[in-house]
Amino acid sequence: MKFIETRGNDGIKDKEVEFSYAILNPSASFGGLYVPKELPQLEENFLLNHINDGYKELAYAILKAFEIDIDEEEINKALDLYDNFDDAADPCPVVKVKDDLFVHEQYHGPTRAFKDMALQPFGSILSSIAKKRDEKYLILAATSGDTGPAALNTFKNKENIQVACLYPDGGTSDVQRLQMVCEDGDNLKVLGIKGNFDDAQTALKKLLASESFKEELENDGIKLSAANSVNFGRIIFQIIYHFHSYLELLKQGEVEYGEEIYLVVPSGNFGNVLGGFYAKQMGVPIKKLLVASNENNILTEWINTGVYDIRDKELKLTKSPAMDILKSSNIERVIFSLFGAKRTKELLDDLNEKKIFEMSKDETAKLQEYFSAVNSDDKYGSKIIKSFLDDGYLMDPHTATCIKAYDELREEKITTVIYSTAEWTKFSPTVLNALKQDDEKYADKEALEEISSKYKAVLPQSIKDLFTAKINHNQVIEKENIEEEIVKFIREC
């Protein structure tokens, strides 16, 4: 399968590339992204044919359908990393919480967040390609709290790979920060920046597009890639678990084959819900994708109005920080899929130059055929966390935003899957505030211990160990110094 560019071709880059090229070189012409030239056409009864597959077998079948240019041995080696999740047979269980409501728990991997579902196998494949080609790569990651730990974990001490991870100082939970700054791989560099996640992501995209930065790296024999969802190597693994959601409902006898379902995704950078969008186009019976936002409701405004306007927006720091984003990267891939490269470039150029783009009424209507959206605030999330634990289910603040979409956006009362993208342990002070309905400031360690003892919640050993681990990365820098510090890091390694 070939990959093409969302904003068209500049006459310099190849018009079509292989999967391996796209994941090693994720920045396309005019600052665009790579996407499949066409999505795979699956056999007529693909879902029924794979109903008894384990997760790894399902993933293998979907990857083969994409005809990616990766050796079977390397694919299987990458997928075997799911054996390191809490339950090797079921790395992301689908759990019933109400008559027609199910939670797809995506946090059972090494860093307790959904990013492990894609980054564990992606990191293995990218590392194997680099080693096979005898090439050295610098992997850039910008994180709102979960991509960073997952990227550092998957690439730690991998040959031919160095990783520079940017996170907003003060913009993550203590557990997320400790997961990053305590990593001890010799090939890792973690930098806190004085700014927010949009600043970190903008810096990453700028470096990926910077020819002078690439030339400087090449002088040291290093090529450049990225671990964020701008890289389709992440997205391809995020398509798989939406198939898994439907197959689990079939296995559990909760839906009949062909019966439509809703998927509800808490969204920031739009990568997770993009995977659902592709899964729907590939034949999973998804009635609609319901997008849950927090107070940074830029995605809700875009889906509901067709206007993406960040001119007077200031990023709000909320209790669901992974969704604290104003410039959402993966909307570009949706726009391309619906309206083509020319229109994508027009709209994204407007956003970059004027900080606003506006789609036509017909374009907005087309977008709304696939998506509905709603936003909520921290107060709402707090009430939801408490009410669900009162009924026996403990969730994190991102998952809580999904309930408003479940309550308000469904046009029919049909089976619904919400995506739980992080374990409660990543945001324990917020969860404890919700359970006690107070505004006290709790330290993460204190909140973790109280929740685990008082509410009988399991506390993973990996989380406990963070509080006695050595801090190996303590730099917090100005945004303007990012490139300088990264260059210094690669030359010290």
Q: Is residue 135 part of a domain?
A: no
pLDDT recorded at residue 298: 96
pLDDT at 48 exceeding the cut of 90: yes
Which of these ranges, 214-218, 304-308, 390-394, has the smallest mean pLDDT?
214-218
Please compute the mean of the pLDDT values over residues 214-232 and round it to a whole number. 92
Map tokens 């946090």 to a residue: 107
Please compute the mean of the pLDDT values over residues 16-33 and round it to a whole number. 95
Please compute the mean of the pLDDT values over residues 403-419 and round it to a whole number. 98
Q: Is residue 375 part of a domain?
A: yes
Please, which pLDDT band fits residue 140 given cuts at 50, 70 and 90? Answer: very high
Helix boundaries (H) for 282-396: 298-305, 331-354, 361-370, 378-390
pLDDT tens digits for 93-104?
999 999 999 999
Q: Are the CB atoms for 159 and 127 separated by under 8 Å?
A: yes
Please, which pLDDT band fits residue 458 given cuts at 50, 70 and 90? Answer: very high
Please, which pLDDT band fits residue 492 given cuts at 50, 70 and 90? Answer: confident
Please, which pLDDT band fits residue 53 given cuts at 50, 70 and 90? Answer: very high
pLDDT at 493 exceeding the cut of 80: no
Say how many domains are in the chain.
1
Please compute the mean of the pLDDT values over residues 141-155 and round it to a whole number. 93
Q: Is residue 170 part of a domain?
A: no
- Two structure tokens written together for 237: 């693994």
As a whole number of angstroms, the distance between CA 375 and CA 202 comes to: 24
Q: Indicate the SS3 state at residue 469.
A: coil
pLDDT recorded at residue 198: 86
> Length of the chain in residues, anyone?
493
Please compute the mean of the pLDDT values over residues 165-190 and round it to a whole number. 94
Return phi, psi of residue 194, to 5°.
-80, 95
pLDDT recorded at residue 197: 87
pLDDT at 115 exceeding the cut of 90: yes
Q: Is residue 217 part of a domain?
A: no
Q: Are the CB atoms for 368 and 299 separated by under 8 Å?
A: no
Q: Are the CB atoms for 439 and 433 separated by under 8 Å?
A: yes
pLDDT tens digits for 178-198?
999 999 999 999 999 999 988
Q: Phi-psi category of 221—alpha, beta or left, where left has phi over 0 and alpha has psi -120 to 50? A: left
* CATH code, 353: 3.40.50.1100
Domain span at residue 408 reads 89-113+233-468
Please compute the mean of the pLDDT values over residues 204-218 and round it to a whole number. 89
Query: What is the average pLDDT value for the chain, to the nearest integer?
Result: 96
Q: Is residue 393 part of a domain?
A: yes
**pTM of the predicted protein model:** 0.95
Q: Are the CB atoms for 415 and 255 separated by under 8 Å?
A: yes
pLDDT recorded at residue 209: 86
pLDDT recorded at residue 408: 98
| CA nearest neighbour of 270 among 311, 242, 238 | 238
Please, which pLDDT band fits residue 120 given cuts at 50, 70 and 90? Answer: very high
Q: Is residue 301 part of a domain?
A: yes
As a whole number of angstroms, the distance between CA 78 and CA 128 comes to: 9
Please compute the mean of the pLDDT values over residues 224-242 and round it to a whole number. 95
286-293 vs 261-266, strand pairing mode: parallel
Q: Indicate the SS3 state at residue 110.
A: coil
Q: Is residue 334 part of a domain?
A: yes
pLDDT at 141 exceeding the cut of 80: yes
pLDDT recorded at residue 184: 94
pLDDT tens digits for 238-275?
999 999 999 999 999 999 999 999 999 999 999 999 99
Please compute the mean of the pLDDT values over residues 161-169 and round it to a whole number. 95
As a whole number of angstroms, the distance between CA 229 and CA 142 comes to: 10
pLDDT tens digits for 276-318?
999 999 999 999 999 999 999 999 999 999 999 999 999 998 9
Q: Is residue 456 part of a domain?
A: yes
3-5 vs 34-36, strand pairing mode: antiparallel
Q: Indicate the SS3 state at residue 357.
A: strand
